[in-house]
Every structure is written in structure tokens, then in C-alpha cells.
Structure 1
Amino acid sequence: MAAAAHGGLMTAARLLALGDAAWTVEFGDAIDPALHARVDGLERAVRAACAAGGEPWSAVVDVVPTFRSLTVHYEPLRCDGEALGTALRTLAAQAVPAVTAGRRWTLPACFAPAMAPDLPPLAERLGLTIDAVVQTLQQAELRVYQIGFMPGFPYMGGVPPALQVPRLATPRKTVPAGSIALAAAMCAVYPWSSPGGWHLVGRTPVPLFDLRRHPPALLASGDVVRWYAVDEAGFATLQARAEAGELDLAQWCRGREMR
């Protein structure tokens, strides 16, 4: 199959059967912009083939991109699954890497102790001051690679090496909604209260998923996020406006642009 860049090398993509109703094309095992560009390129090619219609593409019911792979779900009674796999092999070999034109967001975050319970131990572990951790995180451009785990939950790459640590040894039973969290090279935000095993380093008052919006999820693959600090009073004001549906999200978005 097609080859993907990984650490300067080219590794062959793999076609994997996911049960009897889906195929996964896997390009590698890294969180890497070049590798994700291959996923984007194949997704565009698959969606174009589906839009054109005809077998086997008319049987496709969903296309799901991740950091490093693309899964194509289909109705097995409407097409020859092996034929679809062969067609995916061909597209994977021909697809041109693409970079999604994402929006650039600068979103508010509160790093006060009540909002960031893991910030002090994380700073100590890294040999940094709390201010240094916060400043480094604010300077980072975080690319949204995928939405998963729960609706609106963004998996963002681009965490500086100085802030990269493994997941918590013992996950929490409850993580407050809006929590900004770090694990390895990833940053994420919990849209709702849920269990979680990442380091909680702040909280945003911006709802990342709201059924009153269209689409409900604020962020999408290809978007870039930066954080700016607000104090607890500012957080409370913005949170109240968010709950009332009064936040103007456009104020934090610089529009759509290629990187």
C-alpha cells in the first residue's frame, strides 16, 4: 500500500479488517502532522468517491479519521467487502496528502489552583515553576487531530516536550467539565464531567459541545487552539454567559486559514 512518513522514514500503510462491516487504513503509530496529512488526503478521496456514487462506494455509511488512520464503515449486504478493500488500497496509494483548512482559536483558560489541581505537582515533577508551565502552555499552538472519547472532546497535539508527562497512575472518578488536561504529547478538554486519567492544568468556560449550536461541537479536526489566561472572576463571568447562551464565540476565532 501507500507509504507514510514516520520519523523521517517511510512505512507502508496497512489495510485492516474491522469486523465484517468496516476497513481501517493505518498509516503509522505517531502523532505527527505529516502522517495526519495522509489521513486527511485519503478522507477527501474517499468522500469524493462516495459523492460520485456507484459500487462499492454507495455502501459506505461513515468515514472516521483519527491521528494515524481512516476507518470506512459500510453495509456488507450492499457491496462486496473485498472489492471495497481493494478500492481503498488503490485510493490510499493515489491520495495526495492534504492539510485541513482549520480555524484558529484563542480561548480563555483559568489556571487558578481550584481549576488546576495537578498544576503544582506537575510543575514540581518537571522541575519548573507553575508560572513557567502556564506560560509554556499559553505559547503552544495546539492542533486538533480528532474529536473522540465523548462528543466535542478534542485530542490536540503540539504540547511542548518540556510539558510532556505520562497519564496519571490512578484515573479520577470525576473530572469537572471544561477541564484542560495533559497526557504525553496531547492536550484535551473534557466537555462534561466524566472519569479521566489526564493531568488537570486549567479550565475553560467555553462550552465545547452545545446542542443549541450548529454544529454542536465547537472544534474540528484541523483547528488550532491557543490559551490565554483569565482569573477566577473572569472565568465565573464567562461561564455564566455561556450557560445563558450569551457568549459570542466569534470573538475568539481568527477565521479559517491554511498552515
Structure 2
Amino acid sequence: MRVLPAGPSALVIECRDGEQVEAWRAEFWRRRESGELTVTDIVPGARTVLLDGVAPGTAELLGEWPEPDFAQLTSERQIEISTTFDGEDLPDVASHWGVSVPEAVDRLVNAELIVAFCGFAPGFAYMRGLPEEWSVPRLAAPRPRVPAGAVGLAGPYAGIYPTASPGGWRLVGHTGQELFDVRAEPPALLTPGTRVRLVPA
């Protein structure tokens, strides 16, 4: 990893891939809980982790810690998302993969997803876990409105739209589960590190 300053009280940790991001994100959360790390926010991204509100000397401290192992990570938080696989782009995804529609659904149902980071809209989780060869391109032109609960694929990620919005992901299904509620704690159902299964409705 590479540690870079980001303003007077923040650090950006550059990682080689998503697995290293998740390993460090989990390690930072653990060390914050134990009091070994003073930080107000830990924000993972596709290839970075932002630490905000860090104490002086934190960069030097990070250099002394051994790199955590993604393979050793476990998550007590696992969520099943009841999904109806009726997305209008599902046939195109199956064709891109070179399989039938039922086989494409079977792949999605058996995928072990993990929330890598959140963005785009409140409660929108970018989920890793699909093999690299299953990456699918975004639509050439985004749809002006994607309904809430739509399950989509884009590049190496799977995602679920928490609210209706424009979007260019390839839609493979939908769920009726609520993904974002400002009254809940936390408001987002899917948070970084959560393991997710798409379960046929």
C-alpha cells in the first residue's frame, strides 16, 4: 500500500486491488474499535481507503503494521436479498457470458458478493465477487429512470438501486427489500464488508 496526505487531517491509502482495499478497511475498523487507531471516518473506494480525522503520527504508525490478509477475513454480517430475475438486460448478459438465461441466473444466485464501497446515491453498494471474466459493459446510453430495487451489473460490480434514478447498469432483476432508510441505524442496509447473496424470490 501507499500512504498519501489528503489535507491537514486525512490520509489516502492507495491499494493494488479491491481485495487489499477490503483487507485494510476491515483492519482499520478493527483497530479503531480497539483504540489503536484514532480516526473519525474510514471510507473505502475502488482502489483506495480514505482515513479522515486522523491523529498526528498516524502515517508513520500505519507503516509499522503488517499487511492484513483478505483470505483470512470473516464477516458476521451476511444478508440475503430476495430477487426476482426478470431484468430486461438479463438475456444480453447471458449472451455476453455465452450461457443460457437460466444458467446466468444460476451464476448470480451462487455468487458470493461482498460490499466493496458505497457511492453514486445514498445506500447504493458496489458489490465485488463476480469473476473478472464476467464483467459486462455499461449501457451505451444510460436510462433516464431505473426503478428502486433494480439489480444491475456494470464492469466487475453488482449493485442494487436504492431509489429511482438515472442509470446505465445492465438490469438483471429486482427486489422489494428496502435498502436505505434515514430512520434506521445505519441508514444503508448494505455497508462495506457485508456479504450478500441474491436469493430467488
The reply to whether TM is greater than 0.5 is yes
Following superposition, which runs of at least 4 residues in structure 1 exceed 4 angstroms of deviation?
A: none
**Secondary structure in 1 aligned to 2:18?**
coil
Superposed CA offset, 1:40-63 (max 9, x none): 21343356245xxxxxx5xx5433
Q: 1:229 to 1:149 in 2, by over 3 A?
A: same
**Other-structure match for 2:155:** 184
CA contact (8 A) 2:114 2:195 kept: yes
Rounded Cα–Cα distance in structure 2 between residues aligned with 1:69 and 1:92? 16
Asked if 1:159 corresponds to 2:130, the answer is: yes
Rounded Cα–Cα distance in structure 2 between residues aligned with 1:211 and 1:35? 27
Q: 1:96 to 1:40 in 2, by over 3 A?
A: same
Superposed CA offset, 1:4-33 (max 9, x none): xxxxxxxxx2222334453211122x222x
Rounded Cα–Cα distance in structure 2 between residues aligned with 1:70 and 1:161? 22
**Other-structure match for 1:15:** 3
Rounded Cα–Cα distance in structure 1 between residues aligned with 2:93 and 2:68? 37
**TM-score w.r.t. length of structure 1:** 0.67
**Other-structure match for 2:22:** 36
**Secondary structure in 1 aligned to 2:77?**
strand
In structure 1, stretches of 5+ residues that fail to align are 1-12, 51-56, 231-259
Superposed CA offset, 1:201-255 (max 9, x none): 111110111234332211222221111222xxxxxxxxxxxxxxxxxxxxxxxxx
Rounded Cα–Cα distance in structure 1 between residues aligned with 2:44 and 2:74? 12
Q: 1:106 to 1:156 in 2, by over 3 A?
A: same
Rounded Cα–Cα distance in structure 2 between residues aligned with 1:140 and 1:100? 16
**Other-structure match for 1:150:** 121
- Number of matched pairs: 197
Rounded Cα–Cα distance in structure 2 between residues aligned with 1:107 and 1:61? 30
Give the CA deviation at 1:146. Answer: 2.0
**Secondary structure in 2 aligned to 1:225?**
strand
Give the CA deviation at 1:140. Answer: 0.7
Identity %, equivalent residues: 37
Asked if 1:122 corresponds to 2:93, the answer is: yes
**Other-structure match for 2:190:** 219
**Secondary structure in 1 aligned to 2:139?**
coil
Asked if 1:66 corresponds to 2:66, the answer is: no
| Structure with more helix by fraction | 1
Structure of greater Rg:
1
**Other-structure match for 1:195:** 166
In structure 2, stretches of 5+ residues that fail to align are none
Which amino acid is 2:77 matched to? R
**Other-structure match for 1:109:** 83
CA contact (8 A) 1:147 1:153 kept: yes
Q: 1:95 to 1:208 in 2, by over 3 A?
A: farther
CA contact (8 A) 1:209 1:218 kept: yes
